[in-house]
Structure 1
Amino acid sequence: MKPVLCLLLLLTGFSATSQVLRKRAVKLMGSRFDITIVASDSLSAEQHIDEVIAEVTRIENLISDWKTDSQVSQVNQNAGVGPVRVAPEVFALTERALHFSKITKGAFDISFAAMDRIWKFDGSMTDMPSPEAVKKSVEKVGYEHIVLDRTRSTIFLKRKGMKIGFGALGEGYAADRCRDLMLAKGIKAGIVNGSGDMSTWGKQPDGSDWLVGITNPLRKDTVFAIVPLRQSAVVTSGSYEKFVIFNGKRYAHIINPRTGYPATGVSSVTVFGPSAETANGFSTSMMVLGKDAGLNLLKKYPDYSCILITDDGRIFSSPNLTGKKDKF
């Protein structure tokens, strides 16, 4: 859930330098992708948008866990049976996801895809799940039971019923990959926004930085921070729209994979840094870890910064965050 980002774009698409800006919104990877390209002419910009779409589609066909013929689905289908050889790209993405699982001690877990969806946030839940049901829902989750063989480029899930998935990292990875592809093709500016996982590069046609505005989920009509994005990425994780309330306590849709219970204490985390994939890993982890542990984790990675909003509306930001901020 990522609507607290407000991208502030040049709307005309033209400038004195004859650069044009073209945008297109499409559905990819089950989500909305907004693609913005700055090029010397409209035809070139539209052609490069087509190339971005083709690249995201290629990645989706590799890593989607709901496409039965994808490499990730083959890994899941062979859980408890044997290792599956995958493309180096899929192996490397899995390796990075497993690294995140380790540094967060399971607050982020690539095997979360195996969790039973016992929590419903569509208004249909009338009773809180029993402790036994919650415990059972995560019994097939456990990154410690994933075996990677770099020499053979294989992935093995040791337990029957285990699954891996890239719902948290896939869109960010695709956005990063498309940014690199466009830079390699000489496109000096643009944005690939995969459902709020944004990779940006270059500047707007008038020479100004891309800007992103951050709104408080408790006061959505107010932008309290404007942050320039220079060859950068930004991702938000939030828990403020999908939730249930039992006995006066709010339970949001982001689940702690270690316990099976919804994470509490943090309403949203927006992370800035060079990679949308990595920023997504941090934002998801920090929602589960909570304010203090989450901020302490991010301190170890100075290339990344954040704005964090707690359930009671308090706002915290990294000391290394740059931008124009109102009083918190």
Structure 2
Amino acid sequence: MGTVFSFDIRDRPTPAVRDALAEAVAWLHRVDAVFSTYRPDSEISRMARGHIGVSDCPPEVAEVLTLCARAAATTDGWFSHTPGGRLDPSGLVKGWATERASQILYDAGARNTCVNGGGDLQLRGESAPGSAWRVGIAHPLRPGHLLTVVTGRDLAVATSGTAERGHHILDPHTGQPAMGLASVTVTGRHLTDVDAYATALFAMGDAPARTWTRAHSTYEALVVTAAGDVWRSERFPAAQHNN
């Protein structure tokens, strides 16, 4: 999927947990083979070229497209799995795959884990007994500086922005790059959702992102505008906040 995944497991490495880690890694390779837009032989790439349909694909493809349609409805079309008119569910797949990998570990008995998919994280339990996880969020306009530190237990954290890949998120209504924001970080319980919503809020821009966040109290957001202004929702789980 054009990015790096990592696992941080704070539980005792039992045989079951070791087996689950191998299963989770195999799962991510399977997702890459099916959904990567960087691979011309993936099912998603072949669908985008019109060579196959959903019925010709593994069942995960139909699942992901259904989740994409739900995210599009929840964001009034600001999330799209056809940005620029081309099939690309990457804005949801990475979070979905990471969350599923985290679930594989949990089902094997690993209760305190962090699965990191390209900077988007599914956190479970604690980093140490009595200690919440701490996640640094890079400042999109000040290389080498942290914008804030997110703290929490059983938390998902996703960031969309320009720091790593420039203006790569498209406004689905115009097909042009979204230019109004520098970064959006969204937190919630499930990375499948927060990854998609971070992308959608970035595409929306400042005022609509504020309105959406106020209307969806299950999620919290931290936004940096292209001009460098910073705002966050009332319950955003930050340990420190640096402008």
Q: Aligning the two structures, in what range does the TM-score lie when normalised by the shorter sequence?
A: 0.7 to 0.9
Percent identical pairs in the alignment equals 27
Q: Does the alignment pair 1:58 with 2:30? A: yes
Q: Where in structure 2 are the equivalents of 1:65-104 lying within 5 Å?
A: 65-78=37-50, 84-104=55-75
Q: Does the alignment pair 1:31 with 2:3? A: yes
Instruction: Tell me how far 1:74 sits from its aligned partner.
Output: 4.3
Distance 1:92 1:168 in 2: 14
Name the aligned partner's letter for residue 32 of structure 1.
Answer: V
Query: Where does residue 211 of structure 1 map in the other structure?
Result: 134
Q: Does the alignment pair 1:199 with 2:122? A: yes
SS at match of 1:171: helix
Q: Are the structure 2 counterparts of residues 295 and 40 from structure 1 closer, same or farther at C-alpha, using a change threshold of 3 Å?
A: same
Q: What TM-score do you get using the length of structure 1 for normalisation?
A: 0.66
Q: Are the structure 2 counterparts of residues 88 and 47 from structure 1 closer, same or farther at C-alpha, using a change threshold of 3 Å?
A: closer
Query: Where does residue 155 of structure 1 map in the other structure?
Result: none
Do the aligned partners of 1:199 and 1:234 also contact (CA within 8 Å) in 2? yes
Q: Which has the larger radius of gyration?
A: 1
Do the aligned partners of 1:78 and 1:84 also contact (CA within 8 Å) in 2? no
Query: Where does residue 289 of structure 1 map in the other structure?
Result: 204
Q: Where in structure 2 are the equivalents of 1:163-174 lying within 5 Å?
A: 163-174=86-97
Query: Where does residue 137 of structure 1 map in the other structure?
Result: none
5+ long unaligned stretches in structure 1 = 1-28, 116-140, 142-162, 244-251
Query: Where does residue 259 of structure 1 map in the other structure?
Result: 174
Q: Where in structure 2 are the equivalents of 1:150-299 lying within 5 Å?
A: 163-240=86-163, 242-243=165-166, 252-299=167-214
1:165-215 Cα offsets, whole Å, 9 max, x none, are 222122111110011111111111111101012111011234411111234
Distance 1:271 1:306 in 2: 4
Distance 2:54 2:9 in 1: 40
Distance 1:192 1:323 in 2: 20
Q: What TM-score do you get using the length of structure 2 for normalisation?
A: 0.87
1:248-271 Cα offsets, whole Å, 9 max, x none, are xxxx33222321322122100011
5+ long unaligned stretches in structure 2 = none
Q: Which structure has greater strand proportion?
A: 1
Q: Where in structure 2 are the equivalents of 1:14-25 lying within 5 Å?
A: none
SS at match of 1:235: strand
Name the aligned partner's letter for residue 69 of structure 2.
Answer: L
1:14-71 Cα offsets, whole Å, 9 max, x none, are xxxxxxxxxxxxxxx3311111112324876654432221111122223234445544
